[in-house]
Each structure stands twice: as C-alpha cells, then as structure tokens.
Homo-oligomer: A and B are copies of this chain.
Amino acid sequence: MISKDTKFLIVGLGLLGGSYAMGLKQEGYTVYGLARRQETIDYALEHDMIDQGQIEVDDFVSQADVIIFGMYPTAMVKWIQTYKHLIKDHTLISDVSGVKTNIVDVIQDELKDKDVEFISCHPMAGRETSGIEYANTEMFKKANFIITPTDKNSQEAIEFCHDLAYTLHFNHIAILSVEEHDHMIAFLSQLCHVIAVSLMNTHDNSHLVEYTGDSFRDLTRIAQINENMWTELFLLNKEILLDEINQFIDSISHFRDVLQEENKEEMKHLFVQSTKRRKLFNKKDAKNL
C-alpha cells in the first residue's frame, strides 16, 4: 500500500516517467529522479516534478521504497542487471513497458535472489510525442492502466499498483496475464501501427495531400512513429504480432478475392459484420466520455 511517506524513485524521466513524477509530486509524495542527462534533471527540478535528482546511479537508489522504470524495456533489463546490487531490501519495483513477454520473466528471474519484488504495469497513455517537456498528468485521466502480475507477485504488490493507478487518476484499471496483455496490445495497438505505416509506405502519395479527408487522416495518424521504440516493442512481441499480421492479411486477402469475384453477398456480409463489431466499441466511447 502507498502511504504518505512512501518514497518513489523514477528511473528515466521521459514522457511517461516525467508524468509519473509530476503526478506523484502533485499528490504530496517524495519523488527522486534518475536520468541520463543533467538537463533532464534540471528541467524536472525547475518544474517541481522531483524533490532530488541526479545522473549518477549510486547509493541514491537505496533511498527509495518504490522504484518505477520509465525506460525502454531492454534498457530497463540492462539497468537492473548492472545496478541491482544497489537496490535495498523490500523495495517494490515497477515499470511502464508496452510489451511484457521477454521482459517480466527476465527481470523477475534476475531479481530472484534478492528480497525485492518486481510487478509489471502498462499505463496506456502517451502519444506521438516523447521527452520530459511533454510530460503531463492529464493524459492519465482518459487512459487504461493494466497490471500484469505473474505467480511471483504478491497480493500486496497488486494492490499497490491499484493504489498507484488510482493516485495518478487513471480512467480504468485492469489485470491481465502477460500473455493476455501482449495479445491485446498486438491486436489493438501494434497491428494498427503496422497497418498505418504500411499504408503510408504503399506508394508515394504526396500528390494526394490536397484531397485528403478525415478517414485517411484518422487511419494514418499513428504512421508517425518513433522508429527506435517501436522497433524494440515489435521485436519483443514478434511471434504474437506476426500471427496478428498474418490473420489480418488473410482477412484483407479474402476481401480482395470476393471483390475480384464480384461476390456481392459476401461483400455485404463482411460490411454488416464489421459494422456490428465496431458498434460495440462505440458504446465504450460513450461510456468513457
């Protein structure tokens, strides 16, 4: 459970890490920050996002009761391998990673001989921007917070993550297994990005800019993508994402074939089915407003 004297260390003060720091500090907690660049620390101190911060990873780490990593997943794994000896007993550790396979198990295994607990979370916030200067707590208010516990996690840690999400004012809190999470994220997020990127890459389309309407803009907004982060996230979730891409290619190939055959009945069936399925997601829209 979070108590008012819980001390947080945020490792990596980017968009999400910075927003966590900001939100926790606003709620009155003690927040420490570690970053790679002194300018980031200076920015965080100037904007009252942290109480103390530094770039050296030393016994600064041992002041924290809770450590939350705001880093890329593979960088987080390397950090823990390198500095785990600095983490004090009974520390609770969490993260913000967008993919869980090949990350959660690896870290829990890395820490198995220490008296600390790693519980993984995915705050589904953040968009096309990155960096502490875009940090804000408003984005949490419309976002889902997913907790992905394993059999290594305690009920207490799960409840802590609930408290954390509640403290940061997330809209909706859910618990999923690592596998469920990565299937969900492969379909709802990663496949959408693959589609948008592939549509923009289909052929040169610059001559069409002036005719573009909302359908195309809405569909391709996420084709603007951080190439380093998404390459990492896709590779971590490679097998599940490949399966989703292949299922989608089967689906659109089927549409292509029935159009080729002028099979009106099947075309109409596919439109009716997509309309019916998509309507379910509208209801949620209404609920979330």
A residues at B contact (CB < 8 Å):
124, 127, 143-144, 146, 172, 174, 184, 187-189, 191-206, 208-228, 230-231, 234-235, 238, 241-242, 244-256, 259-260, 262, 264, 267-268, 270-275, 277-285
Q: Give the shortest distance, in Å, between A93 (CB) and chain B (any CB).
A: 24
Q: A197-B270, A278-B221, A280-B209 are in contact. Are A262 and B238 (CB under 8 A)?
A: yes
Tell me the number of copies of this protein. Answer: 2
CA distance A70 to B111 in the complex (A): 68
Residues of B within 8 A of A197 (CB): 255, 270-271, 274
11 example contacts (A-B, Cβ-Cβ < 8 A) are as follows A194-B255, A195-B252, A199-B248, A201-B251, A202-B250, A217-B281, A219-B219, A223-B275, A224-B282, A225-B275, A228-B268
Closest chain B residue to A279 by CB distance?
Answer: B224
CA distance A278 to B223 in the complex (A): 7
Residues of B within 8 A of A245 (CB): 252, 255-256, 259
Which of B213, B227, B244, B284 meets A189, CB within 8 Å? Answer: B213
Verify A231–B268 contact, CB threshold 8 A.
yes
Q: Give the shortest distance, in Å, between A272 (CB) and chain B (any CB).
A: 5
Verify A252–B216 contact, CB threshold 8 A.
no
Which of B198, B222, B262 meets A252, CB within 8 Å? Answer: B198
Residues of B within 8 A of A281 (CB): 209, 212, 216-217, 220
Residues of B within 8 A of A209 (CB): 280-281, 283-284
Which of B184, B193, B272, B283 meets A208, CB within 8 Å? Answer: B184
Residues of B within 8 A of A187 (CB): 202-203, 205, 208
Verify A227–B146 contact, CB threshold 8 A.
no
CA distance A275 to B129 in the complex (A): 12
Q: A215-B189, A220-B281 are in contact. Are A249 and B260 (CB under 8 A)?
A: no
Verify B238–A285 contact, CB threshold 8 A.
no
Verify B259–A241 contact, CB threshold 8 A.
yes
Verify B225–A271 contact, CB threshold 8 A.
yes
Residues of B within 8 A of A184 (CB): 208, 211
